[in-house]
Amino acid sequence: MDDRTIFHIDVNSAFLSWEAVHRLRDLGETLDLRTIPSAVGGDMSKRHGVILAKSIPAKKYNVRTGEPIVDALRKCPNLTLVSPDRELYATNSAAFMEILRRYSDVVEQYSIDEAFVDMTGTRALFGSPMEAAYRLKDEIRDTLGFTVNVGISSNKLLAKMAGEFEKPDKVHTLFPYEIQEKMWPLPVGELFSVGGASEQKLRRLGINTIGDLARADLGTLRAALKKHGEAIWNFANGRDLSLVEAESADNKGYGNSTTLAFDVTDADTAKMILLSLAETVGRRLRRDGAWIETVSVALRFFDLSRASHQCVLDYATNITDEIYQAACRLFDEFWDGTPIRLIGIQTGKVTKDGDNRQMSLFDDTDYEKLERLDKAMDSIREKFGENAVRRASLTSL
């Protein structure tokens, strides 16, 4: 039996790469955005817009993902800025995942542009892990036009760390016996889930490299960083027992999820994301003339662990605000403050006969007004595009 083999596949500068391929292949442009200082970012008219993806030439100007657009332009005045096209990204993501599923039936989509694939037991089909990784990487490049990095190891953590080594269009291994040579010399800030605040605390403790963290006293780390300290100590030592979890092919519900570039640590930001997800789910329901009776919220945390919570609604609905309010209640009930990497909303118990709400003397909600608002917003987006209208509370996203 083959040893456990896990791949982490990450699209290189995904949003920018997908924009570049679309312009070259579909629009007939000759300039490749990947070869010039360029970035995908929000609308310049919105002061809260941030850089979502950048080219390698832009990186040389220290343009960083997640920073305000105005700061990026200050560093690189000649930066070519492209507005995001979420429909294009969803299409490319689906095509990317389709290729991955040709290599294994155990594929866990970690975000729109990355996934874990359990390749254990596939040697007879695709050769050694290195042979399979190059075959997979090259098929994506030759078929879809964009490049990926593939990290190979025996667990998810080390595979993800391997995928972060030299880019783009590379294959790297990081097996447990390679940790001391390849991972321990790296700055501690490069370890998965060590953010800026944690890095500063670690450096104050004299911990500057991942190796320093691996050899540190666990009690000291717990005192300084609590639960997070123990988690990153295990990561520094290459320990990760989480399994690759294939997503269910259940089509009985409507859902959406998103992974952000940074950990979410406050409820207000999380709830803005929930509203954006509820918008998408509600619009799909109304488009299909469907209603749902259950709502669940799923979270994936900084340490790859997951949690979810579900409720049954009093009446079937496809109103965005009802889905959102239910999601917020669930979130408040089970989130314990652990930094969040992914937020998702899933719905269930779909019905085509949901327009039969019974009115209550104790409920003064104007559901007809909410339905009219949703229909108006759906109509505007249908005619003028996804970003033609947004709820005020979402303008900072």
Phi-psi region of 54 (alpha: psi -120 to 50; beta: other; left: phi over 0): beta
**Is the CATH number 3.30.1490.100 carried by domain 255-394?**
yes
DSSP character at residue 65: T
CATH number of 9-116+140-153+160-169: 3.40.1170.60
Phi-psi region of 87 (alpha: psi -120 to 50; beta: other; left: phi over 0): alpha
Q: Are 200 and 174 in contact (CB under 8 A)?
A: no
167-193 confidence digits (pLDDT tens): 899 999 999 999 999 999 999 999 988
Give me the residue spans of the domains in the chain: 9-116+140-153+160-169, 183-236, 255-394
In the chain, the percentage of residues whose pLDDT exceeds 70 is: 83
- The band of 371, judged by pLDDT with boundaries at 50, 70 and 90, is low
The one catalytic residue among 19, 108, 114, 279: 114
pLDDT of residue 386: 46
**Of 112, 45, 37, 47, which is closest to residue 81 (Cα–Cα)?**
37
96-116 confidence digits (pLDDT tens): 999 999 999 889 888 788 899
CB count within 10 Å of CB 97 equals 16
User: With a threshold of 0.75, does the pTM exceed it?
Assistant: no
> Is 368 considered catalytic here?
no
Three-class DSSP labels, 146-192: CCEEEEEECCHHHHHHHHCCCCCCCEEECCHHHHHHHCCCCEHHHCC
Q: How far apart are CA 133 and CA 149, in angstroms?
A: 9
For 366, phi then psi, to 5°, come to -90, 85
187-246 confidence digits (pLDDT tens): 999 998 887 788 999 999 999 999 999 999 999 999 988 888 888 999 999 998 778 877
User: Does residue 385 surpass a pLDDT of 60?
Assistant: no
**Of 305, 367, 391, which is closest to residue 340 (Cα–Cα)?**
305
Q: Which CATH number fits domain 183-236: 3.30.460.80, 3.40.50.620, 1.10.150.20, 3.40.50.300?
A: 1.10.150.20
DSSP character at residue 3: P
281-309 confidence digits (pLDDT tens): 888 888 888 888 899 999 988 776 788 88
What per-residue string of b and e applies to 50-79 under the rule 16 or more CB within 10 Å gives b? bbbbbbbbbeebebbbebebeebbeebeeb
